[in-house]
């Protein structure tokens, strides 16, 4: 059965490589894509967690953008 993973893509202000964070899995692309389109709460939570991470670790790389998208790539890799 095919599954889709909602991921957050973090882009940092210092130009360092982007970071991909898995969020939640869905049975259809449509439901995943709908959640990505209505995911302001997810973006806010990821940002808050990143601020806490920076405070706790000293890894100071502020986020300039957080994007949400869907992929089946992770499930294909796991099945290989």
Decide which of 44 and 77 is more confident.
44
pLDDT digits (tens, 9 = 90+) for 2-27: 899 999 999 999 877 788 899 999 99
Mean pLDDT of 67-80: 69
10: containing domain: 4-79
Instruction: Provide the domain count of the chain.
Output: 1
Structure tokens at 49: 């967690």
pTM: 0.80
Helices (H), 13-61: 29-37, 40-57
The pLDDT-based confidence of 74 (bands split at 50, 70, 90) is low
35, 51, 57, 61, 75 from 54: Cα distances, Å: 27, 5, 5, 7, 30
Share of the chain above pLDDT 90, in %: 72
């Amino acid at each position: 059965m095919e599954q889709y993973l909602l991921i957050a893509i973090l882009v940092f202000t210092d130009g360092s490589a982007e970071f991909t964070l898995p969020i939640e899995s869905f049975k259809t692309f449509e439901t995943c894509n709908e959640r990505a389109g209505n995911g302001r709460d997810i973006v806010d939570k990821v940002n808050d967690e990143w601020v806490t991470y920076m405070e706790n670790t000293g890894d100071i790389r502020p986020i300039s953008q957080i994007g949400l998208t869907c992929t089946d790539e992770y499930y294909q890799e796991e099945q290989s």
